[in-house]
Amino acid sequence: MPKLLLIRRHALAALAALWMPVARAASDSASPGYDVQTWPRGRAAPAIPTTDMTGQAVSLQARRGKVVLVNFWASWCEPCRAEMPSLQALAEREKAQLVVLTVNLKESPEAIARFVQSTGLTLPVVRDPLGGTARAWGIKIYPSTVLVDSTGQVRSVVRGALDWAGSEGEALWRPLLRAEPQRAPKR
């Protein structure tokens, strides 16, 4: 067998060996459509706009004692639209201990109003018309939801959509009700 053909055959076999686990993982229907990233210890929460689309004041500090989910979304984002009803249901069901704030990326007030009206959304919506708020929070994937514990500490960012009103969502937010304050690492 010519040497070049043998090299090609070995290269193809090596590529196939590398590709098979990736292809298997991608086709695994049990894998979630989201990932959870831990918020960097000691990093403060960036600012969010101070009023929502209705003119109501929005403040993370004012919501201490409750878990806060800050959801970054856009109406052109299909996973965002699919996830929104579960955020709404969760906020209504757990209003005594949890708050959901939503941050819309770069859409006009008219586009947001159409979405809100067509879906019956009652969650607070703040605009991020230039994307500066999303950049400050490190948001690059939509939807993304920032989890803030009951002491006001940002704990993690969930990138991708999930059923927040179901068991997967509950497993992420419920432990934050009894959160211990994060301590700065010892030097």
Q: pLDDT, tens digit, for every residue of 44-78?
A: 999 999 999 999 999 988 898 999 999 999 999 99
Return the percentage of the chain with pLDDT > 70, whole number: 79
Residue 28's identity, in one-letter code, is: D
Domain ranges of the chain: 1-29, 32-178
Residue bearing the bigger pLDDT, 139 or 28: 139
Q: Is the pTM of this model over 0.85?
A: no
Please give the CATH topology (third level) of the domain spanning 32-178: Glutaredoxin (3.40.30)
Question: Do you find a cis peptide bond into 143, omega within 30 degrees of 0?
Answer: yes
Tell me the C-alpha to C-alpha distance, in Å, between residue 49 and each of 12, 87, 92, 105, 173: 53, 20, 23, 12, 23
Q: Is the pLDDT of residue 182 over 60?
A: no
Whether 79 and 142 have beta carbons less than 8 Å apart is answered as: yes
Answer yes or no: are the C-beta atoms of 73 and 139 closer than 8 Å.
no
Rg (Cα) of the chain, in Å, rounded? 21
